[in-house]
Chains A and B, each alone.
Chain A
Amino acid sequence: MSDALAPRATRAGSESLFELPPELAIDTDVARRVIGEFIRGQLRQAGFERAVLGLSGGIDSGLVAYLVAEAIGPDRVLCVLMPYRTSSPESRADAEAIVRRLETANEVVDISPMVDGFFGPDSDASSLRRGNFAARMRMAVLYDRSVTWGGLVVGTSNKTESLIGYTTIFGDAACAFNPIGDLYKSQVRQLAAAIGVPEQVIRKAPSADLWPGQTDEDEAGFTYPELDRLLYWRIDKRRSIDEVVALGFDRALVERVDRMVASSEFKRQVPPIAKLGPRTAGVDYLYPRRRPGSARK
């Protein structure tokens, strides 16, 4: 039973499951509490009681499903499984296992006709174009279900992929709020183990599942624990390039990751508006997005 896993026991027991750099270890009890309040607060302030999310069978969306179900109860959560025809059957099985375990509402939407309808079945479009398009079709489905289910779309991007830009803008990065966007992949794994996400989901190699056999780490050429540590020291702890090299990181890797972070800045920000009038949204018209009158009636 997941409830029986005390955080300390989980940490010890999870050593074989994944590698957790010590400086990235978080207090998972506090994290669950903060994230639970955050989810409830976001929904209440927007006038919603329900949530909807895309469940791929991977660890990020799996963890979010667990966190949202814990925060508001599984009957208020809709998990949408959106496989493409080349998606891995194991992912689908893992997603179904999570839905069964949590007892959330669920729905399967095959996005193959949407993607193939645009590109044509024999298109030679690059996997990048197809992957981005599929991510945006999933976004479109989720925002439609946001209306029919009456719930806010919950984001499932983690801090690592957001910082290096390994996301599709207006695709998987699109959401009403994101409970795990400030957790590195290693911390996602730690929290997933603490909350009881099935072991096979934590153990398997992270993949965007854009083509068969793809894994993030193969594609990027570094491991998540290594990348997480580097981002933590560079960004959270404000260490210079020379200082992280002195910590033992390869200079070529450091410079490459720096370029990835800088070149994906646009994905993490609201698009700029040309400043013309006296007050401009985001520039000198600054209101909290949840303000009196903002909640749906």
Chain B
Amino acid sequence: MQPLRIALAQIAPRLGLFDENLATHREMLAEARRQGAGLVVFPELGLTGYLLQDLAAEVAIRLDDPRLASLAAATRDLSAVVSFVEESADHRLFIAAALLEDGAVRHVHRKLFLPTYGLFDERRFFAAGDVLRATASRLGVGVGIAICEDFWHLPVAQLLALDGAQVLINVSSSPGRDLAATNEVGLGTATSWRTLMRTYAQLTTSFVVFCNRVGVDESISFWGGSEVIAPTGESLFRAPLYDEGLFTVDVSLADVRRERIGLPLLRDERPELNLRELARIVAERAGMAPDSTAEPGAEPGLDVTPAEDLGPPIGFRPRPVPPARPLRPAKQAKQARRTRQ
């Protein structure tokens, strides 16, 4: 198998300026082609910038937008992943990433997990995708696309690999934070990402390709550090933190076969087991079935009866409460005491 040259376009998109960002994408694509790349990856919302708020509706495009088609037209004999705000026919706005190949839009992934906590507010402005699919590609391997927070949820990498992906591509706009000197690279966010990406590569025996943006939107700075990780979990290339640029790395896709023969984790996965247990857990969490693994007296969502004298929840002052009903039926409480004696 020919080595594949992957180009990571670690760019700093301009917030809300679609046409400027489109021009940057064209230049980077052309440069990647000159450098012999077969796969070019751009970051999450590379065509629009990240912190859009009410601008999201103003920069949203339909999948038949001529500007997306023009970008696709620049991908003859190339694969590229680009990201933008997609507006559906029923006017929902999604954070989307498209695989462009040989002049066409081959596959679109809509971000599944929209962080809405801490410094994030995505659910306010966007709809969450409902579909996760690997896709075939001209690279001769299956490709799975995920967007930023999608990788902070365990099933995503496994589902993509089980669905046939051998290359997992994550496009991100990850804001850097936590500069504590104790971090591996002086940045808590980078340390966390590197840990989880190595884990996914190793456990799915797949390549992980990570493209994260740089630059500044309002208060937040994006840290770059785009990376390619082999199916062994070994990091093959790390782009510098905070530097804008087009970075290339050569990989041998034959490494997937080697690793999967030597370490047949994927062969040994038990998706039917996942399915069975998940079906049970989903029903129990929805209250459609009793929680079959909980101790008697445990509160919903907890398998264990709370220890007595747990104290008030953190951050709340204790309030005088009327004498509470015992959490367990009296008979069981007596039994428990006997057990301790």
Asked if B242 and A288 sit within 8 Å, CB to CB, the answer is no
Chain B interface, number of residues (Cβ within 8 angstroms) = 27
- For residue A291, which residues in chain B have a CB less than 8 angstroms away from its CB? 15-16, 55
Pick the interface stretch among A22-30, A85-93, A113-121, A168-176.
A22-30
Among the interface residues B15, B183, B216, which one has the most CB atoms of the partner chain A within 10 A? B216
The contact of A27 among B17, B179, B215, B216, by CB within 8 Å, is B179
For residue A273, give the distance in angstroms from its CB to the closest CB of chain B: 16
B135 within 8 A of A: no
With contact pairs A29-B186, A45-B15 given, residues A286 and B216 touching in the complex (Cβ less than 8 Å): no
Determine which of B182, B241, B315 lies in contact with A30 in the assembled complex, contact meaning CB atoms within 8 Å.
Answer: B241
Please tell me the number of chain A residues within 8 Å of chain B, measured between CB atoms: 26
Query: Bound complex: CA of A29 vs CA of B16, how far in Å?
Result: 30
Q: Do A287 and B53 have beta carbons less than 8 Å apart?
A: yes
* Residues of A with C-beta under 8 A to B53: 286-288
Residue numbers in B under 8 Å from A240 (CB-CB): 314-315
Q: Does A278 contact B (CB under 8 A)?
A: no
B149 at the interface (CB under 8 A from A): no
The verdict on B181 contacting chain A, using a C-beta distance below 8 Å, is yes
Find out whether the CB atom of A34 lies under 8 angstroms from the CB atom of B176. yes
B51 at the A/B interface (Cβ < 8 Å)? yes
B89 CB-CB contact with A under 8 Å: no
B17 in contact with A292 (CB, 8 Å): yes
Whether B268 is near chain A, meaning CB under 8 Å from some CB there, is no
Interface presence of A41 (CB below 8 A): yes
Alpha-carbon separation in the docked complex, A287 to B17 (Å): 14
Q: Which of A1-56 contact B (CB under 8 A)?
A: 23, 25-27, 29-31, 33-34, 37-38, 40-42, 45
Listed by A's residue number, 22 A-B pairs whose Cβ atoms lie within 8 Å are A23-B180, A26-B179, A27-B179, A29-B186, A30-B186, A30-B187, A34-B221, A37-B221, A38-B216, A38-B221, A40-B216, A45-B15, A238-B314, A238-B315, A285-B54, A286-B54, A287-B55, A288-B15, A288-B52, A288-B218, A290-B217, A291-B55
New A-B pairs, 10, CB < 8 Å, besides A41-B216, A240-B315? A25-B180, A34-B221, A37-B242, A285-B54, A286-B53, A287-B53, A287-B54, A288-B217, A291-B55, A292-B16
**Chain B residues close to A by CB (< 8 Å):** 15-17, 51-55, 176, 179-183, 185-187, 214-218, 221, 241-242, 314-315
In the A-B complex, the 6 residue pairs with the closest CB atoms: A27-B186, A41-B216, A25-B181, A30-B186, A26-B179, A286-B53
